[in-house]
Each structure stands twice: as structure tokens, then as C-alpha cells.
Amino acid sequence: MNVKIHFEVGETVATILADDSDINIIESAILNARSIIENKIRSDPLFGRTFDPYPENIEDHTLIRSMCKASMCACVGPMASVAGAVLSHTLETVIDTHTDNIIIDNGGDIAFISTKAVYITMNSNNPYIDDIVFEILPHSGIYSVCSSSGRIGHSISLGNSDICTVFSPDPILADACATALGNLIQSQDDLAFATELISSIDGIDGCLATCDGHVSICGCIPRIVSRKNCDNDEITRISVTL
């Protein structure tokens, strides 16, 4: 990866790490994903505002249909997966023809294609959690780490979690499930049930949630390593500015 750039358009606030030759097509793919979603909202305003699961329509673009499928799986509105949808569409656009190493952080939701390990930590304002670094080994395709919070950032959460993070090869599903996980947690008493429920969803590898200094982990999550053993330049921070 030769460059790290900030790219902002509308509600999309992205940090892109990629080869310089890939930046233009990545930015173009982000704009195209936004256009697809904006066109759907114009034709059906309910899609853009509902918090309820939204059934797919076979006449819609495949990106919209994927958002609807994730909505139904996670029991949230389709726009709960909007950041993941932008990530998914962008990486699907470039995966077959461009550099093997691309990381995109879209407001705290991260997806990447990488031939080497990726190190990701969180910024949750919790010193115990913020010292954790996830070592994500190379995958053959796209992989994603999506987060939600009831206390940090600008995204809507119906819960009271410090941070909820979901791991999955599917950025759209991961984003929807991160929102669902956050919605389920009102106090530390909800942590175990919520993480078990979300990790049981087909397509989700595992998840982590924190609330009031307590942590619950369920499913298969990446190996946790010490920040002291990582080069800070290798770490991609989940900032949760959703």
C-alpha cells in the first residue's frame, strides 16, 4: 500500500489505504454505490427511514437486495448496513482487477482485501478495550470488521453499549449485525445473550461487545495480540465515527 487518503462525500467519510494507481477507481466505486442507494431512497423514501426489516424486491439492484437480505437477517432497517454496502460494492468492483491489498475504513466500519495480516484496534474510550489489537490473517476474498456504539459517534443506536464489533466476510451483513448487537444491549446484563444471538447468524464469524467496563465475546474472532508487539504504522484504528 503506497498511499493513505481521506475521502469524504455526503455522509461517507472514508480512509483508504491502497496503491496510488487504484485510488481513482476506488473513489469512483464509492460514488457509484452511493448513487445506487440514493436512487432507491428517491424511489421509495421508506427504505431510507425505516428501522424495521425490509423485504427485498427482485427488481432492485443487487446491492439494494443485499441490504434488504441483511435487514431481514439482523432485524434492523436496511440503512443500518449502508456503510457496509458502500464497502462491499467498492471492493467487489476492484477485487478482480486491482491491487491485492486495499483497506477502507468507512466511518468505523472496515473492509479489506489483503495478502498479509491486518492489525485492527478500537477507539472506544475504554482503556482496557483500546489496548486490544486484532490480528486478522489473510483471506482469499473480502473481510470486514464493523462496529456500532450507543455512546460514541453519530450513527443511530437504540442501545447503550460502549462498542459492538462484528467479524464477517460480508460487510453488509456485518454492518447490519453490528447495529442489531448494539440495539440489544441496554446494560451489562444483556451482553451474553446479545453476543450469542448475533454470532449464531449464518455468515457471522463472531462478535465482541462492551458495556460499562464489561466485555462479552462469542464465536470465532481474530487472534488478540498486544499493542506492544505491533508496529503502530500497521494498525488500522476503528474510530467509530458512524
Residuewise pLDDT in 10s, the chain (242 residues): 578 899 999 889 999 999 898 999 999 999 999 999 999 999 999 999 999 999 999 999 999 999 999 999 999 999 999 999 999 999 999 987 777 789 999 988 999 998 888 888 876 666 666 667 888 988 889 999 999 875 555 565 565 677 889 999 999 999 999 999 999 998 889 999 999 999 999 999 999 988 888 889 999 999 888 766 665 555 555 443 32
**What does the alpha-carbon distance between residue 38 and residue 165 come to, in Å, rounded to a whole number?**
26
β-pairing, 214-219 vs 206-211, is: antiparallel
Instruction: Give, for 178, the enclosing helix (H) or strand (E).
Output: helix 171-184
Nearest C-alpha neighbor of 108 from the set 82, 128, 131: 82
pLDDT of residue 128: 62
pTM of the model: 0.90
Domain count, the chain: 1
Write out the residue range of the structural domain in which residue 232 sits.
Answer: 3-238
Give the CATH number of the domain where residue 181 resides.
3.10.520.10
Q: How far is CA 86 from CA 11, 107, 124, in A?
A: 11, 11, 23
